[in-house]
Structure 1
Amino acid sequence: MAKANKKQALGRGLSALLKDPDNDIQSAQDKNADKVIGNIVELDLEDIEVNPFQPRTNFSEESLRELASSIKELGIIQPITVRKIGHNQYQLVSGERRFRASKLLELETIPAYVRIANDQESLEMALVENIQRQDLDPIEIALSYQRLIDEINLTQEQMSERVGKKRSTITNYLRLLKLDPIIQTGMRDGFISMGHGRALIAIDDTSTQLDIYESILTKKLSVRETESMVRNINTPNTKASNKTDNEIPTFIKTGINSFSEYFGHKIDVKVSKNGKGKITIPFHSEEDFNRIKKLVEGAK
C-alpha cells in the first residue's frame, strides 16, 4: 500500500511540474522533460480533449457504464496516453473509453502517460495503438489501416512491421472496404462476422452481395454455408452450361438478357431436341422470392 501511495504522490508531483508556466515542456529536449515522459502523471480531466484521429467511432453506453462501475470499485488500472499540445493542454492518444467512463463518474483527475508528438506522429500512434486492441470491429481496423496508407503514406509492408501483422492479414482487412456500406454496417453491428464478409468479397455484383447478405441474416448461414453459396454463384456447372449453349436457338440467346435484367438475376434456359424448354429463375432469400413474385404479379 505504501508503494502505491508513493507512486500516486509522484504522479501528483509531476502534475504540479507540468502546470508550472516557468517550466513549460514542449519537446523531449526541454528541462525536466525526462521526469515526465515515460512516467504516470495525474492530469485534470478538464485539461484533456478527445483525439480527432480516434479510429473508434462506436462507443456502447452500456459497456461504458460497466467500465465506470469497474473503475469505481478498482480504480483505473491502465493509465491513458496523451500528447501535450500546449501549456496545461493535452489530447488523447489512446484510452478514450477510460476517459469517457471517468467523466461519467465525474472524476476530477485521471492517470496518464504524457507524450510529445506532432499531429502526424499522434495520428500514427493512435491508429497503431488502437489496431492492437481486441475490441475494435473488423471495419474499424480496416479503416485504421486505410488511414495509415492515405495519411501517413505507409506501405502494407511497413504497416506489417509497425502493427506486427502479416501483410496478407492487412490485405484481407482492407478488402472489406470494397463491400457494400450496408454489409459493412452489418459487420460493425455484429450481425455477420469477418469470415462472412471475406466470402462476400468474391461477389462483384453489389445487388448479389446484398441478396446473399439477406440470406445470411434470415437463414442464419454459417461462414462455410456462405462460402458454398458464393462458389455456386461464381462457378456454375460449365459442362452443362456449354451443352445448353449449343442447343439454345438464336432467338432465345438474343432475348434472355431481357429476362435477366427484368428479374435481376442470371436466368437459366434449357431447351430439348423437340424445341420445348424450361426457364429457371433463381432467388436467394424469402425477400428475394417475394420481390420476384411482385414483378410477376405486376406484369399481369
Structure 2
Amino acid sequence: MNDRKPERRGLGRGLSALMADTYLTSPEAGSEPRRAESHVPIEFIEPNPDQPRRTFEPEKLEELAASIREKGVIQPLIVRNHPHKEGHYEIVAGERRWRAAQIAQLHELPVIIRDLSDTEVLEVAIIENIQRADLNPLEEALSYRQLMERFGHTQEKLAEALSKSRSHIANQLRLLNLPTEVQDYLRDGKLTAGHARAMITSADPIKLAHDAVSKGLSVREVERLAQKPREPAARPAQSRTKDADTVALENDLSAAFGLRVSIMPKTAQSGQVVISYADLEELDRICQALSVS
C-alpha cells in the first residue's frame, strides 16, 4: 500500500486546467455543450471508488433519468482509462449522469477521456461537487477542507478559483468545529447554516441546537441566545465575556486549523490559546500545521 501523501502544490495552472474540465459538466446558460470525444458502452464505465459524494437521492436520480430519456445525456462524462482494467474507464466527473443513465436503460454514454493522476481525479471530483448547488453545508465544508489539506490550497485561492467570497469559505469551514450532534441536525436539514454558525461561540451549542429545533427558533433568536454570558468559571479572569475581536480571531484560527480554537484571556496582555482535537488524526494535523516553517 502506498502511503505517500499527494503532492502539495499551488493552484496555478494545475487547478485552472482541472476546473476547465469540471466546467464542461456545468456550462453557463446559453453556452454550447462540449462535444464528446467518443461514446462508450455503459458497462465499460465504472465509478471512482474515492468519489467524495456518497449520497445520491433516489428521487433526484429518477428526475434526471426522466430528462435523459427525453433529451439524452447532453453533457458528456469526464473519464480516464481504468488503472486496472484494460478497455474500461473510470469516472472522473459525472457519476450522477452515469447512475441516471442506467435507470433510463441507455446502452452507451458520451465521454471525454482525460489523462489524470489519482490525485487529480480526486481534486476534480471535489471541485465538481462544490460547483453543484445541492451539496449540504457540511458536504461543502468538508470539500473545502479536503482541497486545503490534501492539495495545499488556501482560502484566498479557493475563493478566487471557485468564484466565492473568502468569508463564505471561512464560514462554511467553521461549521466543522461544531459538535457531532449539531452537525447531524445540520446534515438532516433541521438547522440551516445560519443557525449553525450562530452556535459556534455558544457555551452549550448542543442544548442550543436542541432548543432551536424543538422550538423552531429563528437565526436571530439563536444568535441572541448564543451571546449570553458563559457560566462562571473556576478562575474569575476567564469568566469574562469575550469581545467581538477575540471571537472573530477564534473563528479565523478555527477555520485555518479546521478545529475548534479557544482564546482564553487572563489579563489585558496575556492568556492562553487552546486547540481542541477529537482523535489522533486531528492531533497529527495540528502538529503538521505548527511545523510549517
SS at structure 2 position matched to 1:81: strand
- State the 1:234 CA deviation: 5.1
Give the corresponding residue for 2:121.
122
Q: Is the 8 A contact 2:35 2:76 kept in 1?
A: no
Is 1:224 aligned to residue 224 of structure 2? Answer: no
Q: 1:97 to 1:233 in 2, by over 3 A?
A: farther
Q: Which residue of 1 aligns with 2:77?
A: 80
For 1:228, the aligned partner's letter is R
- Counterpart Cα distance in 1 of 2:230 and 2:74: 51
Residue type at the aligned position of 1:115:
R
* d(CA) in 2 for partners of 1:39, 1:78: 8
The answer to whether 1:182 aligns with 2:181 is yes
Give 1:195's aligned amino acid. Answer: G
- Contact 1:68/1:101 (CA < 8 Å) preserved in 2? yes
- Does structure 2 retain, via aligned residues, the 8 Å contact 1:39–1:114? no
Higher relative contact order (CA 8 A, sep 6+): 2
Report if aligned partners of 1:45, 1:109 keep a CA contact under 8 Å in 2.
yes
Alignment of 1:197-276 (within 5 A): 197-203=196-202, 205=203, 208-233=204-229
SS in 2 for 1:232: coil
> Quick check: 1:45–1:108 contact (8 Å CA) kept in 2?
yes
8 A contact 1:128–1:162 mirrored in 2? no
SS in 2 for 1:91: strand
Residue 44 (structure 2) pairs with residue 47 (structure 1): yes
In structure 2, distance between residues paired with 1:132 and 1:189: 21
Taking the aligned partners of 2:212 and 2:81, their CA distance within structure 1 comes to 47
Flag the 1:233–1:73 CA change in 2: closer, same or farther, 3 A.
Answer: farther
Whole-Å Cα distance in 2 between the matches of residues 185 and 144 of structure 1? 17
Q: Which runs of 5 or more structure 2 residues have no equivalent in the other structure? A: 1-33, 237-293
Between the aligned partners of 1:101 and 1:202, the Cα distance in structure 2 is 42
Query: Residues of 1 paired with 2:128 and 2:174: CA distance?
Result: 21
Q: 1:209 is aligned with what amino acid? A: P
Whole-angstrom distance in 2 between the partners of 1:232 and 1:114: 56
CA RMSD across the alignment: 2.2
Give the deviation of 1:96 after TM superposition.
1.5
Q: What amino acid is aligned across from residue 216 of structure 2 in structure 1?
A: K
TM-score by length of 1: 0.61
Tell me which residue corresponds to 1:139: 138
Q: CA deviation at 1:70?
A: 1.9
Task: Give the aligned partner of residue 160 of structure 2.
Answer: 161
Match of 1:291 in 2: none
- By how many angstroms is 1:101 displaced? 1.0
| 2-structure distance, mates of 1:235, 1:226 | 18
Q: How far apart in 2 are the matches of 1:88 and 1:153?
A: 34
Percent sequence identity is 43
Distance (whole Å) between structure 2 residues aligned to residue 72 and residue 39 of structure 1: 19
Query: Which amino acid counterpart does residue 77 of structure 1 have in structure 2?
Result: I
8 Å CA contact 1:83–1:116 kept in 2: the answer is: yes
- Structure with bigger helix share is 1
The structural deviation recorded for 1:210 is: 1.2
TM superposition outliers: structure 1 runs of 4+ over 4 Å: 233-236
Partner of 1:5: none
Report what 1:148 is aligned to: 147
Q: How many residues align?
A: 197
Matches of 2:180 and 2:171, distance apart in 1? 17
Q: Show structure 1 runs of 5+ residues with no match.
A: 1-37, 242-300
C-alpha deviation, 1:69, in angstroms: 1.7
Alignment partner of 2:82: what SS? strand
Q: Deviation of residue 93 (structure 1)?
A: 1.8
Paired with 1:135 and 1:193, the residues of 2 have a C-alpha distance of 14
**2:28 maps to which residue?**
none
CA deviation map 1:27-53 (0-9, x unaligned): xxxxxxxxxxx7402122222221233
Partners in 2 of 1:232 and 1:184 — Cα distance? 22
Inter-partner Cα distance in structure 2 for 1:185 and 1:155? 27
Deviation at 1:129, TM superposition (A): 2.1
